[in-house]
Each structure stands twice: as C-alpha cells, then as structure tokens.
Amino acid sequence: MFNTLRNNSRIIVYIVVVAFVITGAFMGYGAYFNGGGGGGTQPPSSENPGVIAEVDGYEISEEEFFSVLQQQIPQRTLSSSEIISFRYEVLDSIIEQRLILEKADDINVEVEVTEAEVDENYNTLLEENEITEEELVENLSEQGFTLGDLRDDIRRNLERSKRLTQTINEAIGEVDVSETELEELYLERYPEEEAAFADVEADLAEEIREGKRNEKVVEWLDGLKADADVEIHEPVLSAYHEYRTGNYEEAIEKFSSFIELESNPVFYNYLALSHSALGNDEAAEEIFAEAMEEFPNDDDIGFNYAQFLAEQNQREEAIAILNEISDRAGNDFMKRYQLFVMFSQLGAEEEANNEIEIIQGLSEDMEAEEDELPVLEEEMIEEDIEDLEIEDTEEIEIEDPIN
C-alpha cells in the first residue's frame, strides 16, 4: 500500500509543480505581499554554495528551491525522515519542470497569454492574499516594485505554465479508454449495480483516462531524466537520491560519512534501510539496534525496525516495538493509522482493533470540531477499515512506512 501512495504522491507533486507557475512560487510572489518572502530559512550546507542542483548545466538555486519548498509546506508536522523525502520530491519536481521546458524549446512550443488571463490571475492573487490593490501598491513601492513588475511576472508564469501543459500534451498524445476497461471499473465500483451504467459512464471514462495519462506522464518524465545530466549538490538530498534510485552502496557510503560527523536518527534510518535492500541483514539489524538504543523515542526508526524484524520472521519482536510507539502516539491521527495497518499486516488482531477504536474516537472529535480529514487520508482509512481482514499469516510483506 505504501508503495502505491509513494507513486501517487509522485504524480501529485508533479501536477502541483505545474501549478506552481500559476501561483508564482518561482518568482517569489510572497515578497510582494508580505515584504520578505522566505526570510529565516537556512539553506543546508552544499559543496556548491547557492546551488542545490544542476540540470543539463542549468543551476537550481537555493532561492528557487526554498521558494517552492515554502509554498508547499504541509499543514501537518512531518517527521525527520518525511522532511527529507518531501524536500527530495520538491527538488525532483523542479528538475522535471526544467526538463519539460527544455523539451518545449526543442520542439518550438509557442503560446499566447492574453491580458484577460493576466487580469484574472492578478485578481485571484489579491483575493487569496486578502489584500486591496492600494495595500499592494504600497507594499510594492516599499520594496522597489511596481504593479507593472507584478503583472509582468504573472504573464511570464502563465506563459511558462502553458508551455509546460502544451509540451506534455504533445508528448503524451491522446489516451483511449476501451469498453472493457469501462465495464471492469463499473463492476468494481458498483458491484450491486446501484448506479445505471449510462449515468456514470462519462465519469468512469474520465477517471480511467486521467489514470492512464498520469502513468504515461511519469514514464515520459523518467525517460527525460534518464537522458539528462542531473547532479544534486546538497549532500543529504544527494545521499537520499542514491537510496531512492537503488544505488544502495553509494547511499551507504554517504550516510556512513554523515554519521561520523553527526549522530542523527535519519542517517541511521537510511543507512540501515540501504543495507537491508542489499541483503546485508546482519549489518542492518546492528545499525537498527544501535539507533534504537541511541534514539529510543524516534518513531521512524521504530517503524522501520519493526518492518525489518517482520521480514526476518521476528513477529513478536516487531509487535513489541509497535506497542511502544502506540504508547506514546497520543492523538497523532496518521501515526495511529500507520500502526493499524502494520498491526493488521502482522496479524495482531487485538492491537489493530485497539488502534481503530482510537482512530474512530479521534474522527468523532474532529467532526465535533467541524474539521475535515484530507480527502486522500479519509479514502485510505475508509477503504482499509472496510476491506482489510486481520489474520495471522505465515508470510508478512510490509512496505516502507515512511516513504
């Protein structure tokens, strides 16, 4: 399940990056509205000061990277490992956008932006920032900008957005949906035929079309990156890149060097996971055990160590670690859900039922406060609670819970 979420998040991040252009993340619209934009963020140390990565000679600056990063900071608190993964996905999406624009140049994609479109986006920016034009003019003047500067930025960003979209459309082409695909999805979605096929056919076709299109986009982007000269200079993201792309020996070398300089649970995590991926189970267990001793309350390490133990058929030991995480999980909704999934996959029925009771209680509290769960989280929980049977299994397969 977690691999599926990771793949979906890749598509989501990509789509969001296309939208960045409209919201002005790259041009720093935040500075227009709050007088600073990004002050206080400390960039990580890099071998190339001021440059996060290079794509075919194009430099991705720290300013560009952190501008996008700040625009996309999630509402919930991320764990240390999730922060690395989130930063990497943002950087990866910037790299992908750069490659799409290169392709646009190659095939001479030309677009037109109308004044009406600029006006529409300008008014949207005012509404979203809850600022009047008079207040905006004052802010701009204090920073040495004019309304013309802002409108020029909007125009440039709209042009970039259109070029991205048109280039993707030309590369992907039309996506066909077969009658067989429609029938299969209809039977899956409406097994009791509670909806007439004719009434839902168009929606089902669009869902299938978008899914196939997203798959083609990801495949196409992977091809662009495979042919590109991409170099990541930020050390931790570079090490994580090696891990994510399956270069585990390089990841081990880099994360080991980090630990020599700083005892950080994140470095232990990915060092152990890299050893495990190579089949170095003894080394992985030693690193996990050392990390658990040094960072006994780090849940990322706990989840991954529990997963590792489960894969080594050490079921009881894995459940014991998860119980320790549960004891300190409090009202952390997503952590409780994560525990529910892992307990269920381990066949720990009593523990899984306990987690689902807590989740249901937290959901009721949220509803009472008129808060709504994010759509993705809500759908995940409803489907898994409904479909997941809790039973003992001889073979336990658990995906990486932090990625």
- d(Cα 52, Cα 63) in Å, to the nearest integer? 9
Question: Does 284 map to a domain?
Answer: no
Q: What's at 190, amino acid-wise?
A: Y
Q: How many domains does the chain have?
A: 2
Verify that 19 and 154 share a domain, yes or no: yes
Domain that holds residue 357: 297-403
CA-based angle 288:290:291, to the nearest 5?
Answer: 65
DSSP 295-361: -TT-HHHHHHHHHHHHHTT-HHHHHHHHHHHHHT-TT-HHHHHHHHHHHHHTT-HHHHHHHHHHHHH
Residue 181 lies in a domain: no
Q: What pLDDT is attached to residue 193?
A: 78
Give the distance from CA 262 to its chain's centroid.
26
Do the domain assignments include residue 289? Answer: no
Whether residue 223 is found in the same domain as residue 366: no
SS3 227: helix
- Helical segments of 107-178, H only: 115-128, 133-142, 147-172
pLDDT reported for residue 140 = 87
pLDDT (0 to 100) of residue 285: 96
Q: Is the CB of residue 167 less than 8 Å from the CB of residue 100? A: yes
Domain-ending residue, one of 204, 227, 250: 227
Whether residue 253 lies inside any domain: the answer is no
pLDDT of res. 47: 55
Q: What is the mean pLDDT of each run of 10 residues along the chain (403 residues)?
A: 34 34 36 36 51 95 89 77 90 94 95 96 89 90 89 92 94 94 93 87 95 94 94 95 96 96 93 96 96 94 95 95 96 93 95 94 78 50 45 37 41
Give me the pLDDT at residue 308, please.
Answer: 95
Residue matched to tokens 């960072």:
295
159 and 301 fall within a common domain: no
